[in-house]
Chain A
Amino acid sequence: MSANTKVLGVFLAGAAVSILLGVYGDTHTPTGEKPYSLFFTDTIQLKVWFATAAVALAILQVLLAMRLYGKLNWPRTAPSWLGDAHRLCGTLAFLITLPVAYQCLWALGFQSTPTRVLVHSLAGCLFYGAFVAKVLAVRVHGLPGWSLPIIGGVVFTALVVIFLTSSVWFFTDGPAGLPIF
């Protein structure tokens, strides 16, 4: 199988996940419920802070990837556990997003208004599709060298867009007086 065919397969798998999530979010009847809040005052606070933690882990993962690829030269000698730490950051970031996305999909669904929510919905679907593509790109051998950084960049970008259209909006434009935790 050629490298291009493999890349196409990875891309199609990721696209299928994104589309399926979008279809689910659009056809499923939103419940509007708040299934959990843990120690936060409300589910929205949990989601905002979990998304913030996921972005922080993703930034750390990108920095670790840059060191792995030699784009950063600090520390001078890369520790042997760098690759495992990179994987750990990504896995934890993914785990943290699951309860957030579950509430989004199950309780709210795919929404097209206002624009912020539309962009958030699209980025949410893109994120999981790109994440699946990235996991496959790591596991499938023989892909072109450019594919993994590109797919990883899409995953990171989608997560940042999700963060900007939810957590940052909440922190900056949320109703005054609402407890932040």
Chain B
Amino acid sequence: MTSKRTAFGRIVNAIEVIAVIAALVWVFMLFANDPGTDSAADAGPPGAAIFASNCATCHGADGEGSLGPQLAGKVVEKYPNVADQIAVVTNGRSGMPSFDGGLSDAEIQQVVEYTRTGLGG
């Protein structure tokens, strides 16, 4: 019985060591993979960085869609009038949050332009 308990305790100790190593690797990866100034977001048009920070979570990094609908290749067709798209980004709609106050008018304009041109409309 004692040996069994000790064996379980040793297994838990080993898993704890693995967890510590995993945590160190986790921290290393956060910095090793940091895109820094070479990122597409930094190198691209102003709207790219805004898109990466605020929109990619739901619409995907390339606007391919995920939680939110696909934008790439679709958004111009859905919103022929850019003002309609700006209104949706500003005021939100159903699952889409409002960015009024979160982004300035200029930033909303930039990110909308990016979705229509940078993502291939």
Contact = CB atoms under 8 A, between A and B. Distances in A.
17 contacts: A28-B30, A29-B35, A29-B52, A30-B56, A31-B35, A32-B56, A34-B66, A43-B66, A80-B5, A81-B8, A91-B12, A102-B26, A106-B30, A112-B102, A113-B97, A114-B98, A174-B67
Contacts, number: 99
Interface stretch (B36-44, B71-79, B110-118): B36-44
B32 to A, nearest CB: 10
Interface residues on B, range: 35 or more
A95 B98 CA distance: 34
B19 A95 contact: yes
Interface in A84-125: 84, 87-88, 91-92, 94-95, 98, 101-102, 105-109, 111-114
Interface in B16-58: 16, 18-19, 22-23, 26, 29-30, 33-36, 39, 41-42, 49, 51-57
A81 B33 CA distance: 40
Q: Is the interface of B mostly helix, strand, loop or mixed?
A: helix
